[in-house]
Amino acid sequence: MRRFWDVVFVLTRRLLNVRYRGSRLGVYWSLLNPLLMTIVYASVFGANFAQYYHGSIKEYVVNVFIGLIVLNFFVGATEAALTSVVANGTLLNKLRISFEAFPVAAVASFGVQLAVGATPFLLVLTLGCSGRPEHLLLLPIPLASLALLSAGIGFVIAGLYVHYRDIPYMYEMVAFLIWITSPVFYPISIAPERIQAVLKLNPLYPILQSLREVVLAPVITEPYLLLWALLTGGGVCAVGYALFRMMKPTFMDML
Amino acid sequence: MTEAVSERAVISLSGVSLVRRTHEEYSHDLKASAFAFVEGRYRKSLRKTVLDGVDLDVPAGAKVGIIGPNGAGKSTILKVIAGILAPTAGSVWTTGRIAPLLELGAGFEPDLSVTENIVSYGVLLGGSRAETLRKVESILAYAELEEYRNYPVRALSSGMLARLGFAVATDVDPDVVILDEILTVGDELFRKKSRRRIEGFLKRGITTLIVSHEMQTIRETCDRVVWVERGRVRLAGGVESTIAAYLDSIDEVALRMVRARYSQRLNGAASVAD
């Protein structure tokens, strides 16, 4: 167990070092995209959508920013996990390393990026918007759920990719579907009731909504969202891990 | 005797078989596989038996040489013992710390610094992070790369790279050493140094497994030999007797080939004469 996390640590460090080439400020590049996109969405939709956010463009902006952080993390981490096992095929043929360490490290590298890059913003926003310091204690719940969910999906697609090399094209499509059906820049209430029920099946939905409540709402009106987020994350992670272990025995023949 | 041996064995393979998919049969496409399945053309991928019921007991302190023709499964046996490949059937039992000195330097990340690579390679080889961090200086010193500690690995020459890989992989206190040929790396000076280190392992009575095509190497280093052919142990025993049997079989094969060609030519001449 100790060894597993040592390996994950080393692999995560390698990923981060390669991604940022040693410049520590590189992490902040990852914030450039959500900040720019937030400006774009606020300019295009802000005036119209503010009515769904108590008439406040500021609230809309924070909602969009949080949505983008969550979605960028999910898509980035799962796509990194997708290729992680195959990309290290040569390594696995020469050294004894547990397969699980690769998708976990891929997600962990995005976790570090989130912790260093976006979390300070989330802390400040929570204090400024909800005005409730105790909400800071709730922040880790949706964020941990997000990491667990990404790891679970990451396990499944990383394992499938070992066998089927056309998975990236399909996953690109799936990721886009998940992106567009997540209420990132639109309020879910603009969809018809029946469609809303379907949209809420998206595993990212409880994570997005509970994170927004923790950051923005002075009173948490839907506490079950936090539980729902955690259960979804934990459940998907457990199922993904189990499937990965089932696929594992044939990996070495395909690498 | 066999009982005493298995009691002290540090490595024990019993009935180890390994069946692998052959590389040509990759159906690398989910779409294609799905359509094939729907059209009822789905078939199981072709498989090849690489190891077929291998039994091997290595007592503590033994120096085992593995010989056999190319593709016999020698390196595969080493990989199974090193835990890189899991057997399809049978059981592998090992104890103590195994240092597989196979293809050194796999896992270097060209963009990262030498120090950083020492730590990550050390951990990937099986060391703990704390332990590897402590050893960075001694590894740098042994590889004679102190001045290059902050250089990215891609800036090193291939000889330096080999020295670095060797230094990290051998800076351990193993119970078992696994070698694919006696390896010595670098320039003439470093070659001597690396040979001394390998010989140090051998002299300290560390259990050693070595695959080699050099019978001279096997004679010098081993106290028992296993002859592997077509994924099976053909013969195991004393150094001289096993090597002799192996070389005889090669001579026989060579002789048979010469005879076959000769008789073919004779037949050909006969048919022309007709």
pLDDT band at A218 (very low <50, low <70, confident <90, very high): confident
The answer to whether the CB atoms of B128 and A2 lie below 8 A apart is yes
**Which residues of chain B make contact with A18, given a CB cutoff of 8 A?**
109, 111-112
* Average pLDDT rounded to a whole number, residues A50-74: 92
CA distance B182 to B219: 12
pLDDT at B105 over 70: yes
Instruction: Compute how many other C-beta atoms are within 10 angstroms of the C-beta atom of residue B7.
Output: 10
Q: Which tokens go with B63?
A: 């120096």
pLDDT digits (tens, 9 = 90+) for B254-268: 888 888 877 777 776
* Average pLDDT rounded to a whole number, residues B239-264: 84
User: Phi and psi (nearest 5°) for B31?
Assistant: -60, -55
Pick from A21, A96, A166: which is nearest to B111 by CB?
A: A21
Q: Is B126 on the interface with A (CB under 8 A)?
A: yes
pLDDT at A101 over 90: yes
* Average pLDDT rounded to a whole number, residues B249-253: 83
* Average pLDDT rounded to a whole number, residues A86-113: 93
* Least confident range of A25-29, A87-91, B213-217: A25-29
The three-state secondary structure class of B28 is coil
Q: Which residues contact B169 (CB under 8 A, 6 or more apart)?
A: B99, B101, B104, B121, B125
Q: Which tokens go with A154?
A: 């990451």
CB B132 within 8 A of CB B122: yes
The answer to whether the CB atoms of A97 and B124 lie below 8 A apart is yes
More confident: A205 or B213: A205
Q: Which tokens go with A145?
A: 């759920």
pLDDT band at A199 (very low <50, low <70, confident <90, very high): very high
Chain A residue at shortest CA distance from B20: A253
**Which residues of chain A make contact with B106, given a CB cutoff of 8 A?**
90-91, 94-95
What is the total residue count of chain B? 274
What pLDDT is recorded for position B179?
A: 87
SS (H, E, C) B61-116: CCEEEEECCCCCCHHHHHHHHCCCCCCCEEEEEECCCEEEECCCCCCCCCCCEHHH
Nearest to A184 by CA among A172, A176, A195: A176
pLDDT at B3 over 50: no
What pLDDT is recorded for position B6?
A: 45
Question: Which residue shows structure tokens 């019978």?
Answer: B215
pLDDT at B32 over 90: no
What pLDDT is recorded for position B162?
A: 87
Mean pLDDT over the full length of chain B: 84
A133/chain B closest Cα distance in angstroms:
37
pLDDT band at A192 (very low <50, low <70, confident <90, very high): very high
Nearest to B65 by CA among B232, B222, B237: B222
More confident: A254 or A7: A7
The Cα angle at residue A149 between residues A3 and A204, in degrees rounded to 5:
160
Q: Which tokens go with B216?
A: 């001279």
State which amino acid sits at residue A188: I
pLDDT band at B44 (very low <50, low <70, confident <90, very high): low
The answer to whether the CB atoms of B120 and A14 lie below 8 A apart is yes
For residues A141, A143, A145, A146, the Cα torsion angle rounded to the nearest 10 degrees is 170
What pLDDT is recorded for position B24?
A: 54
CB A165 within 8 A of CB A254: no
* Least confident range of B21-30, B102-111, B195-204: B21-30
Whole-number percent of chain A with pLDDT over 90: 71
Chain A residue at shortest CA distance from B116: A14
**Which residues of chain A make contact with B102, given a CB cutoff of 8 A?**
94
State which amino acid sits at residue B191: R
Nearest to A88 by CA among A14, A152, A4, A6: A14
CB A107 within 8 A of CB A77: yes
Mean pLDDT over the full length of chain A: 92
What pLDDT is recorded for position B111?
A: 85
- Predicted structure pTM score: 0.87
Nearest to A101 by CA among A229, A204, A203, A15: A15
The three-state secondary structure class of B209 is strand
Q: Is B86 on the interface with A (CB under 8 A)?
A: yes
pLDDT digits (tens, 9 = 90+) for A124-162: 999 988 888 888 999 999 999 999 999 999 999 999 999
* Region at B231 (left for phi over 0; alpha for psi -120 to 50; beta for the rest): left
pLDDT digits (tens, 9 = 90+) for A82-97: 999 999 988 898 888 9
pLDDT band at B2 (very low <50, low <70, confident <90, very high): very low
Q: Is B85 on the interface with A (CB under 8 A)?
A: yes
Q: Is B6 on the interface with A (CB under 8 A)?
A: no
What pLDDT is recorded for position A86?
A: 93
The three-state secondary structure class of B13 is strand
SS (H, E, C) chain A: CHHHHHHHHHHHHHHHHHHHCCCHHHHHHHHHHHHHHHHHHHHHHHHHHHHHHCCCHHHHHHHHHHHHHHHHHHHHHHHHHHHHHHHCHHHHHHCCCCCCHHHHHHHHHHHHHHHHHHHHHHHHHHHHHCCCHHHHHCCHHHHHHHHHHHHHHHHHHHHHHHHCCCHHHHHHHHHHHHHHHCCCCCCHHHCCHHHHHHHCCCCHHHHHHHHHHHHHCCCCCCCHHHHHHHHHHHHHHHHHHHHHHHHHHHHHHHC
Could you tell me how many CB contacts below 8 A there are between chain A and chain B? Answer: 78
* Average pLDDT rounded to a whole number, residues A13-27: 80
The three-state secondary structure class of B1 is coil
pLDDT band at B43 (very low <50, low <70, confident <90, very high): low
Whole-number percent of chain B with pLDDT over 90: 21
More confident: B199 or B28: B199
